[in-house]
């Protein structure tokens, strides 16, 4: 099936629909494996999942999560790490077991890097594979830290961050010079191995990125275009991003 393009009237509507899909998955399969993303884009989905947990008892006790990526050279408890961000947005507010939440370890020594990346891939497979992968689209078309040039065969690895990726993070870090220069990301092939892929894009600044994702044949110059190769991928947007 080609990439499904799903337009909602508002961002909140889109977030509710995606959160409800995740909730339905978790209710049907209490051991579901979720592929999670950081950034502004998924915040409302996480807020809605927290609400469903509190108000309807949505149970994450047996759910496993794997995040897309993490910065290198930041300790896990660094306020700017994606681990800290996930704790603040989701992990700290639902009954996910800490041992069931996985992010790459950006502090791993060079000598251990390859083993760590292989183990991260293996852990997703041992968990049964990712049931649903959430994605945002970066200004340069990246998915995870799969920056332009990343091909469809890439797996979990260390990457140098693109100048725009670092520029977009500069505000959060209080200056671009403080943004790490590298990260560890799952690969395009890892993302495409998920059973479902849900790409979210909200607001007018995402409209050109959405247009390019829909118009581009799968190509490493625009890594988000690779989701078009997936059999169950949806690009979920609000009206502003659809323009």
Give me the active site residues, please.
69, 140, 142, 147
Residue 55: C-alpha distances to residues 45, 52, 243 (Å): 15, 5, 35
CA angle 205, 206, 210 (to 5 degrees): 150
Pairing of strands 101-102, 69-71: unpaired
Q: How far is the CB of 124 from ligand PGA (least distance, A)?
A: 19
Exposure of 240 by Cβ count < 10 A (0-12 exposed, 13-18 middle, 19+ buried)? middle
Distance CA 28, CA 152 (A): 31
Tokens of 51: 């609400």
Q: Which is nearer to ligand PGA, 58 or 67 (CB)?
A: 67
Question: What residues make contact with ligand PGA under the rule CB under 6 A?
Answer: 39-41, 136-138, 142
Q: How far is the CB of 137 from ligand PGA (least distance, A)?
A: 6
Q: How far is the CB of 69 from ligand PGA (least distance, A)?
A: 9
Residue 113: C-alpha distances to residues 103, 119, 186 (Å): 14, 10, 13
Q: How far is the CB of 41 from ligand PGA (least distance, A)?
A: 3
Q: Which is nearer to ligand PGA, 100 or 230 (CB)?
A: 230
Q: Which is nearer to ligand PGA, 117 or 137 (CB)?
A: 137
Computed on alpha carbons and rounded to an integer, the radius of gyration of the chain in Å comes to: 17
Residue with tokens 């910065």: 71
Residue with tokens 């069931």: 100
Q: Which is nearer to ligand PGA, 127 or 135 (CB)?
A: 135
Distance CA 49, CA 55 (A): 10
Which H helix or E strand runs over 158?
A: strand 157-160
Q: Which is nearer to ligand PGA, 63 or 137 (CB)?
A: 137
Q: How far is the CB of 138 from ligand PGA (least distance, A)?
A: 3
- Give the residue among 38, 71, 35, 17 at the shortest CA–CA distance from 193: 35
């Amino acid at each position: 099936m080609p990439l499904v393009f799903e337009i909602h009237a508002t961002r909140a509507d889109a977030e509710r629909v995606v959160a409800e899909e995740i909730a339905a998955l978790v209710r049907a399969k209490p051991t579901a494996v979720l592929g999670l993303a950081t950034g502004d884009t998924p915040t409302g989905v996480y807020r809605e999942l927290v609400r469903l947990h509190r108000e309807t008892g949505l149970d994450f006790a047996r759910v496993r999560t794997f995040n897309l990526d993490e910065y290198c050279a930041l300790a896990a408890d660094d306020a700017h790490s994606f681990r800290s961000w996930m704790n603040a947005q989701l992990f700290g507010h639902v009954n996910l077991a800490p041992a069931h939440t996985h992010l790459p370890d950006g502090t791993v020594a060079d000598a251990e890097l390859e083993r760590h990346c292989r183990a991260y891939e293996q852990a997703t497979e041992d968990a049964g594979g990712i049931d649903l992968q959430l994605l945002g689209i970066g200004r340069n078309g990246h998915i995870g830290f799969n920056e332009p040039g990343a091909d469809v065969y890439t797996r979990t690895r260390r990457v140098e961050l693109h100048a725009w990726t670092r520029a977009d993070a500069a505000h959060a870090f209080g200056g671009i010079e403080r943004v790490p220069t590298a990260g560890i990301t799952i690969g395009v092939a890892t993302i495409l191995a998920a059973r479902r892929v849900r790409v979210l894009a909200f607001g007018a600044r995402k409209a050109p990125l959405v247009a390019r994702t829909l118009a581009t044949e799968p190509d490493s110059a625009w890594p988000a275009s690779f989701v078009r190769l997936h059999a169950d991928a949806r690009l979920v947007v609000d009206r502003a991003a659809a323009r």
